[in-house]
Structure 1
């Protein structure tokens, strides 16, 4: 009851308020759709920027067949190329061209396809970094992004040795192609690209044949720009005739006519095909005279800015829409399983939804990147995001199969075989890591990564650089030195990693089976088993991102005066106001307890 306002007036205001709130919700929905459209467009431009900056390097990587014949090197090449061009479809099309031209065997191409599957998951990990401002959202978003990485890496660890030993995927794909009698069909339908391409084509258009040509050894493509100049061309056929006349010596013929009659005359006709340029492209970088690297860096900065802006606004609008009972209802609908005995079907239904949505947007990166902020704000749980991600992997392979079926007749078997290898890799990965709940290791691994990232936010950047750049580059460098060097360095490293993993498992499950010294890692220096020393170093190095030094010292001084000497000893000496690099105590501080000899059974009092 409000003094001075009658109950009839207050009740009359309620319909107006509800109508106003409904109008605001209806106004936010078009904003949400526009931001989602710009978000997808920025991802497309980001892929073009990476191709301009590193596309020719990616083409050079594919040239050394001696390296690609090494399965581990082929896996790393697939990862690096996909990270460089930010498009698994581009790297897969290069592999298909190499196989169909006879430059690469199918057995050598399968590890590269596995690498492209791993490399394509870097995009949603980058998107998760945009939610680093709020700790809990960042934890959920990073876990949802890395669940794709964990699934791909675990599948590679099992299926790559199996493929090298038995040729399972390539043989199964070959038998499937032979039994189905595949014939050339139409190209894959463009669904979402029909909407986004009119916008992205006004920004940049690329000549993707340049990267493929460099990979196939065409030296003329090296000096050719990736920025597309001519959008409409035509083929012109010119007939050229040449004759070869051999005339005998004049002493052997009575007349010129006789000489011509006795000579050998050869007439040849050649058809020369040339490309005639008709109409130039119309995009922002048409006649800028900038290098590919400069254009790529400009687009990279612009697309990342647009990506961050759209993502922040999307999260803000979603948070305002999904409040109160609305959020609870949506969470219940998405994350609740149906009653027994149909609960097990929910995950497979989510896979079907993920595959269908990926087929519509024609990119697993777009679907998983759009799903990442929803995981961050808690609308989609990690357990539900896992089957959606697996379905996305299946959806992107169906698009590749349709694209392969549009290949010419001579390239059709190889293209379909590579696309089916991609499909079977994901199918076998799902059979390994989903049907039995105890085998869903990617969920647990992603949860651990999310917890670690929430504690040390810089760990997300370290993870991104380490697993998608430094480690693949190191393995690729070792492969250049030969398989003996790679085995000599890699075998001890893998042995140490397996030993550490086994000890960690026993420490958590059954520490009594370990020697006393191995029941914890405390016998090692702190920096070898904890991220806290590195966190302190990074925090001190980023003091420029904190408030003024004088203000910091004043705050620390006032805070320290309010604490007891024991509290000052236990707590961190300086707490920087840098949320992106803040950290929590690894070990909780407890008051020191003194016990008297002979009085162990008595309750001691903390001093």
Structure 2
């Protein structure tokens, strides 16, 4: 009996700690939604009717793609970048400019697990497996852009689908039904910040709101990620072990679920790298799980779009475009036998090559995420 009491007390303390952490997560999600509202409000205040003119430089889709890729590679969080994009769209950034940006965010986010794979560099075979598992995400996202960006430029089909989906939830600029309470709940915080910068003028005040929103997004996503890793990563690993090897549908679903739980595709895909490096799972087993992570990461932008200060319809539209793009990418690339394993073959080849010459891995990371995008941006700015 003497031993059981401390054990019960310890379990009760652990449960209380978990509840406190979940309350902190809820509070930080609230801060995230407020932050997106601040960005939209600030962008609208600073630019007024000149918003579209400000983004004329990015009317070239390749420029938008590069901006999304480099920004996400530097920040190492597609959730942060897409949340910022949602806020900008709510404030007046044209949706057509934002579409390539969210595509670029998909590419940029895969730098994290590619860097994680470098931890296996000392063991040749282990590094080959780990680097292949990391870069299969890169190659899938690159192939998805190659297929869907030209189609979007020619037909605007993603914009149309996003608009149709957003129309289900939005009437005019007011959210329907259950979404109203979110905007109402965040309004006091957004209004407080707006009143705080009134003396700075429209441009200065707008820029201050945008900067405040970006800082709050960084902080909220950073600390939400840390808390969720503590609360969920152990369970995420269990789920991953249980799902991988049970077939592609199970793998995709589990990858989606784990990413929703930890709010980070970078975390989900990085969890797989050591498993691949150790040889516990093959690349073809891990591949579907990676695809699910692409879908699961869309939850942050959808959450952020439920309460914005500005064009709610456009904010929801770009969030649904992000989701539609990732779902169609999985359905089309994995569903077509000829395309299905192209990312796997490319990743296997690169993994073997990099294991033979470690400088290839460094050159790959620098060129794909920074050098080539920078060159493309330079060229497009001269056109």
Q: Structure 2 matches for 1:328-407, cutoff 5 A?
A: 336-337=245-246, 346-407=247-308
Aligned match of 2:362 in 450, 461, 464? 461
1:529-540 matched pairs, under 5 angstroms: none
Q: Distance in 2 between matches of 1:415 and 1:354?
A: 26
Relative to 1, partners in 2 of residues 1:334 and 1:178: Cα closer, same or farther, differing over 3 Å?
Answer: closer
CA deviation map 1:418-455 (0-9, x unaligned): 11110111111112211244322111111111111111
What residue number does 1:135 align with? 124
Shift of 1:219: 4.5
Whether the aligned pair in 2 keeps the contact of 1:382 and 1:443 (CA below 8 Å) is: yes
Gaps of 5+ in 2: 1-42, 44-51, 183-193, 195-201, 217-239
Higher radius of gyration, 1 or 2? 1
Aligned equivalent of 2:15: none
Residue 90 (structure 1) aligned with residue 80 (structure 2): yes
**Any residues of structure 2 matched to 1:244-283 within 5 Å, and which?**
none
CA distance in 2: counterparts of 1:219 and 1:98, whole angstroms: 16
* Aligned residue number for residue 338 of structure 2: 438
Taking the TM superposition and a 5 Å limit, the aligned residue runs for 1:142-541 are: 142-181=131-170, 183=176, 184=179, 218-219=203-204, 336-337=245-246, 346-408=247-309, 410-440=310-340, 441-482=342-383
SS in 2 for 1:448: helix
| 2:69–2:104 contact (8 Å) kept in structure 1 | yes
Partner deviation per Cα, 1:158-199 (whole Å, 9 max, x = no partner) = 100100110010111101111344532576xxxxxxxxxxxx
Contact 1:364–1:392 (CA under 8 A) maintained in structure 2: yes
Measured on the aligned residues, the alpha-carbon RMSD in Å equals: 3.3
CA deviation profile, 1:119-151 (whole Å, cap 9, x unmatched): 111111111111101111111111111111101
Aligned length: 288
Instruction: Tell whether the 8 Å contact from 1:140 to 1:376 is kept in structure 2 after alignment.
Output: yes
Which protein has the bigger helix share? Answer: 2
Kindly provide the CA deviation profile for residues 205-257 of structure 1, in whole angstroms up to 9, marking residues without a partner as x. Answer: xxxx9xxxxxxx955688999799x99xxxxxxxxxxxxxxxxxxxxxxxxxx
Shift of 1:98: 2.1
Tell me which of 56, 60, 63 is aligned to 1:70. 60
Q: How does 1:99-110 map to 2 (within 5 A)?
A: 99-102=89-92, 104-110=93-99
Partner secondary structure for residue 458 of structure 1 = helix
Rounded to whole Å, the distance in 1 between the matches of 2:210 and 2:169 is 40
Residues 186 and 405 in structure 1, CA contact (< 8 A), matched pair in contact too = no
TM-score, with structure 1 as normaliser: 0.44
Equivalent pair of 2:158/2:325 in contact (CA under 8 Å): yes
Tell me, in whole angstroms, the C-alpha distance in 1 between the residues paired with 2:378 and 2:357: 30
- The verdict on how the C-alpha distance between 1:132 and 1:219 changes in structure 2, with shifts beyond 3 A counting, is farther
1:500 alignment counterpart:
none
Give distance in 2, aligned partners of 1:158 and 1:424: 14
Aligned partners of 1:335 and 1:381 also within 8 Å: no
**Matching residue of 1:80:** 70
Q: Quick check: which one's strand share is greater?
A: 1
475 and 433 in structure 1: CA distance in 2 versus 1, 3 angstrom threshold = same
Alignment of 1:113 onto 2:113: no
Q: Is the Cα contact below 8 Å between 1:334 and 1:380 reproduced in 2?
A: no
